[in-house]
């Protein structure tokens, strides 16, 4: 049997197409939820039409801070060990990406002597503290992984052990392909706008850096309307540092809450460009051919770099050049014949049948 151990919204968005492909082939799988994120998870389950979790390892408040991780991890591991009869030696546990739940799922699998498959394997920034703690998580998960599902040859070359499978693109590509714009209801601004999504640790937990970002955004807002999508952690920091009023009092900046996945994608599709520090947003813009300005110093992803995406390093000249000529970073959407999810399930089906 195949077991998915996941716990965040981002993981579920990227794993859902694999679950759907497995279900199409009538293969057995279980969905084990670590409870790292619980808000809007039910919405995502309904959006993608996948089943509810078979097991919940933790039910409590969201795990948003590093300090919460040890106790939460201990609770999940303790509960999973009690369920050891749920797993068989020939099973495969699939984990995803670089969230806490990825390393937690891999540890649980190894404690139960089950093979581990890591989806979105091989991504590297080669700097343990940028992004933090995601880069450390990726490296640790790789050491526990038997099957590395890598989104491209560059990622494969960063793996030096285990079986490596090239999925060509990220499974996020499949998630985007299930998007039907006409079915999504959300208010779209009448005038040109850009999306802003800032939430990374290195950007919002540094007051000086966050103030610098806000000042840049205010300058950009003089040229184009900004839709600032507020992650809860970002909103909390903006309020704590006293920056929220600077944004609320700017008529060219509209603050909006975090949306479900397809509503957010509809906003991206209809925008001029996106300003983000999120790796998934970088990938989405690459697949959609949408200009993307990355507010980070380093990125573990190559998708779109130098094409539709620019790594700003918070350099004002690079930022201004992009904003003044973003049209040249527009490209046709990416299209491939065989999807990443099918490549993954083809491998799993063959491996389990042996």
pLDDT 10s digit of each residue in the chain, 354 long? Answer: 999 999 999 999 999 999 999 999 999 999 999 988 877 788 899 989 999 999 999 888 877 777 788 888 899 999 888 888 899 989 999 999 999 999 999 999 999 999 999 999 999 999 998 888 899 999 999 999 999 999 999 999 999 999 999 999 999 999 999 888 878 999 999 999 999 999 999 999 999 999 999 999 999 999 999 999 999 999 999 999 999 999 999 999 999 999 989 999 999 999 999 999 999 999 999 999 999 999 999 999 999 999 999 999 999 999 999 999 999 999 999 988 889 999 999 999 999 887
Same domain? For 19 and 167 the reply is yes
Flag whether 317 is in a domain. yes
Judge if 174 and 250 occupy the same domain: no
- 285 lies in the same domain as 319: yes
Q: Is residue 265 part of a domain?
A: no
Same domain, 279 and 311: yes
Residue 266, domain member (yes or no): no
What domain count does the chain have?
2
Residue 264 belongs to some domain of the structure: no
The verdict on 213 and 69 lying in the same domain is no
CATH number at residue 17: 3.40.50.2000
Task: Write out the residue range of the structural domain in which residue 91 sits.
Answer: 2-178+338-353
Residue 156 lies in a domain: yes
Q: Note the pTM of the prediction, 2 decimals.
A: 0.92
Q: Is residue 211 part of a domain?
A: yes
Q: Are residues 174 and 191 in the same domain?
A: no
Convert the chain into a string of H (helix), E (strand) and C (coil): CEEEEECCHHHHHHHHHHHHHHHHCCCCEEEEECCCCCCCHHHHHHHHCCCCCCEECCCCCCCCCHHHHHHHHHHHHHHHHHCHHHCCCCCEEEEECCCHHHHHHHHHHHHCCCEEEEECCCCCCCCCCCCCCHHHHHHHHHHCCCEEEECCHHHHHCCCCCEEEECCCCCHHHHHHCCCHHHCCCCCCCCCEEEEECCCHHHHCCHHHHHHHHHHHHHHCCCCEEEEEECHHHHHHHHHCCCHHHHHCCCCEEEEECCCHHHHHHHHHCCCEEEECCHHHHHHHHHHCCCEEECCCCCCCCCCECCCEEECCCCHHHHHHHHHCHHHHCCCCCCCCCCHHHHHHHHHHHHHHC
């Amino acid at each position: 049997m195949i077991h998915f151990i996941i716990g965040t919204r981002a993981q579920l968005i990227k794993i859902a197409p694999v679950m759907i492909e497995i279900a199409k082939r009538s293969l057995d799988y279980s969905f084990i939820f670590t409870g790292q994120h619980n808000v809007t998870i039910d919405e995502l389950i309904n959006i993608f039409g996948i089943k509810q979790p078979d097991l919940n390892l933790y039910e409590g408040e969201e795990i948003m801070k590093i300090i919460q991780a040890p106790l939460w991890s201990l609770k999940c591991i303790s509960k999973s060990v009690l369920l050891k009869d749920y797993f068989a030696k020939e099973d495969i546990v699939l984990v995803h990406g670089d969230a806490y739940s990825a390393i937690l799922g891999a540890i649980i699998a190894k404690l139960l002597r089950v093979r581990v498959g890591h989806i979105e394997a091989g991504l590297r920034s080669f700097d343990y503290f940028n992004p933090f703690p995601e880069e450390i998580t990726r490296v640790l998960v790789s050491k526990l992984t038997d099957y590395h599902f890598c989104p491209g040859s560059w990622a494969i070359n960063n793996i030096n052990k285990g079986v490596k499978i090239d999925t060509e693109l990220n499974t996020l590509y499949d998630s985007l392909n299930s998007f039907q714009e006409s079915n999504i209801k959300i208010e779209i601004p009448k005038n040109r706008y850009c999306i802003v999504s800032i939430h990374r640790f290195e950007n919002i937990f540094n007051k000086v850096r966050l103030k610098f970002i806000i000042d840049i955004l205010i300058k950009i807002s003089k040229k184009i309307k900004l839709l600032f999508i507020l992650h809860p952690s970002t909103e909390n920091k903006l309020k704590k540092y006293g920056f929220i009023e600077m944004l609320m009092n700017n008529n060219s900046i509209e603050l909006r809450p975090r949306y479900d996945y397809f509503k957010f994608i509809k906003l991206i599709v209809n925008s001029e460009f996106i300003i983000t520090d999120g790796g998934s947003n970088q990938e989405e813009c690459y697949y959609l051919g949408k200009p993307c300005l990355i507010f980070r110093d380093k990125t573990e992803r190559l998708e779109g770099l130098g094409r539709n995406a620019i790594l700003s390093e918070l350099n004002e000249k690079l930022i201004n050049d992009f904003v003044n000529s973003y049209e040249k970073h527009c490209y046709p959407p990416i299209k491939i014949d065989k999807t990443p999810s099918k490549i993954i399930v083809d491998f799993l089906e063959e491996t389990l049948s042996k």
